[in-house]
Structure 1
Amino acid sequence: MFLTRFRINTARMGARRLLTSPQSLHAAVMASFAERPDHQGDGPRVLWRLDQQSRSEVLLYIVSPGRPDLTHLVEQAGWPTTGGWQTKPYASFLTRLTADDTWTFRLTANPVHSIRRHAAEPTKRTAHVTPRHQLDWLLQRQKDAGFAIVEHDEPRPDGLPGAWHEVAVHNRGDLSFGKRGETDDRAHQVKLTRVTYDGRLRVTDPDALRRTLTFGLGKAKAYGCGLMTLAPAE
């Protein structure tokens, strides 16, 4: 496994095209591998995420089973003479994860749930739109994902009852774009919601957390969702 970071040059035309089209950016990420990874099997998949530090600083993170070559991204959306990318082996970090360790984390995800108005109606996948429901979506998955978000006994900053979880839900984005099917040329409209979570977690099941970090969490992984990264907690 490898973890890669690439800074996007937002002043370039190619960068603006990639940043406004999740499908184009997904294709560019997948083109980083000489042999296209197989997402149908049981192995880890390619995950990616955009982090916008500021208007002019946008970072692309990629977790992948193989080492990527981002030469084409540097040429389209980077600094061809002075810029590049950084790739580090990820397996050694993953093997060091231990129960009860505390880390800060960032996750961009697609928090959705299935609903129907009556029993005879097929279920429909619908995005959670409020921060409270988006947080609940993550809390419902933390046990199976191998972690627990740090809680505090003090009163919540928002004055509401219940535990105060050390996590912020922010940077919601509603995306809508056309996608062509694999078996025909018709364009299908794709709509999804992306949300970013920043907080602190405690490792409860290292093996399950390793799977979360390499397989992703939730839906829409092809469009920049599901990638969780960890950093040392202060």
Structure 2
Amino acid sequence: MYLSRVRVATQGLDRHALVKLLSGDAYANHQLLWRLFPEAESRPFLFRQEMENEQLDAGVRPRGLPLFYVMSSLKPDPLPGLLQCEPKRFDPRLAVGDRLLFRLRANPTVTRKQAEGSRGRRHDVLMDAKWRCRNESGVDPWSIRRAMDESAEQWLRARSTDWGFELTTSPQLGGYRQHQLRRKKREIRFSSVDYEGVMTVTDPDRLRDALFHGVGRSRAFGCGLFMVKRG
């Protein structure tokens, strides 16, 4: 596997393509990043989009441009005049009990049935908690916010065993966003929230699978990629 840092190219920059990149949504940027793998017939990657800031090396000045982290089974090829790649082999050696710092942008969902016998429908975990609280009389805004955060944390805790780890402490939550995309005249809606914290490895094989292939839904739209380092 490869973990690559993908930055906007500085030489021979295609400014028209840059404008499209800056205004592009998660689906458009997913399509753009797929061009890094011209031989791939199916999507061989996960990605996380950020802006250039503290992620860059010492002495490298942030330019306020998009920055992508890409996990892939193939080595990416740069796009001249648009994207440059800094790929590194990614093959972590994990053992039970290892402590890792992690960051994760995920799309937490829950399935609810509208009526007895009806087909379940997926809901945003945070919005589900918000509306359930609002249906209770006398619930104040702080209680609603706490319920939303607790639901987001519980979503991750409930799945951590299947993904090969346990949370050492409650993760920090932030960056909650609701997204609306258009794809082939169809509207796509999903939410994302950022988790940051410490995990303890309980099953190295399961965790490696989660790192390589991502977790949760909306992986094609920039969700599901764990960023980890030794704690």
Using the size of structure 2 for normalisation, the TM-score is 0.78
Q: Give the equivalent residue in structure 2 for 1:64.
A: 72
What is the one-letter code of the residue matched to 2:156?
L
Structure 2 vs 1, CA of residues 89 and 133 (structure 1 numbering), >3 Å: closer, same or farther?
same
Runs of 4+ in 1 over 2 A off after TM superposition: 12-20, 51-55
Q: CA deviation at 1:6?
A: 1.6
Q: Give the equivalent residue in structure 2 for 1:81.
A: none
What is the one-letter code of the residue matched to 1:18?
L
1:37–1:46 CA contact under 8 A, matched in 2: no
Q: Give the equivalent residue in structure 2 for 1:117.
A: 114
Identity score, percent? 27
Instruction: Please point out which of 149, 169, 172 is paired with 1:168.
Output: 172
Instruction: Please point out which of 20, 38, 46 is paired with 1:17.
Output: 20
Q: 1:127, 1:118 → 2: CA distance? A: 18
Q: Deviations over 1:28-60 (max 9, x none)?
A: 111111222535xxxxx4111112355925420
Structure 2 vs 1, CA of residues 57 and 222 (structure 1 numbering), >3 Å: closer, same or farther?
same
Residue 225 of structure 1 aligns to a residue whose secondary structure is coil
Q: Deviations over 1:149-176 (max 9, x none)?
A: 113xxxxxxxxxxxxx2x1111011110
Q: Give the equivalent residue in structure 1 for 2:48.
A: 49
Q: 1:6, 1:134 → 2: CA distance? A: 29
Matches within 5 A, 1:20-31: 20-31=24-35
2:76–2:85 CA contact under 8 A, matched in 1: no
Matches within 5 A, 1:7-156: 7-8=7-8, 14-19=17-22, 20-38=24-42, 45-52=44-51, 54=53, 56=64, 58-72=66-80, 75-76=81-82, 84-91=84-91, 94=92, 96-129=93-126, 130-151=148-169
Q: 2:173, 2:86 → 1: CA distance? A: 28
What is the one-letter code of the residue matched to 2:88?
K
Matched residue pairs, number?
A: 197
Q: Which runs of 5+ in 1 are unaligned?
A: 40-44, 79-83, 152-164, 181-186
What is the one-letter code of the residue matched to 2:114?
R
Residue 145 of structure 1 aligns to a residue whose secondary structure is coil
2:114–2:121 CA contact under 8 A, matched in 1: no
Structure 2 vs 1, CA of residues 126 and 2 (structure 1 numbering), >3 Å: closer, same or farther?
same
Q: 2:98, 2:36 → 1: CA distance? A: 33
Q: CA deviation at 1:122?
A: 1.6
Q: 1:37, 1:228 → 2: CA distance? A: 24
**Aligned-pair Cα RMSD in Å:** 2.2
Q: CA deviation at 1:67?
A: 0.1
Q: 1:37, 1:197 → 2: CA distance? A: 31
Q: Give the equivalent residue in structure 2 for 1:206.
A: 204
Q: 1:16, 1:174 → 2: CA distance? A: 23
Q: 2:205, 2:111 → 1: CA distance? A: 28
Q: CA deviation at 1:16?
A: 4.9
Find out whether 1:224 has 2:222 as its counterpart.
Answer: yes
What is the one-letter code of the residue matched to 1:47?
L
Using the size of structure 1 for normalisation, the TM-score is 0.77
Q: 1:226, 1:16 → 2: CA distance? A: 26
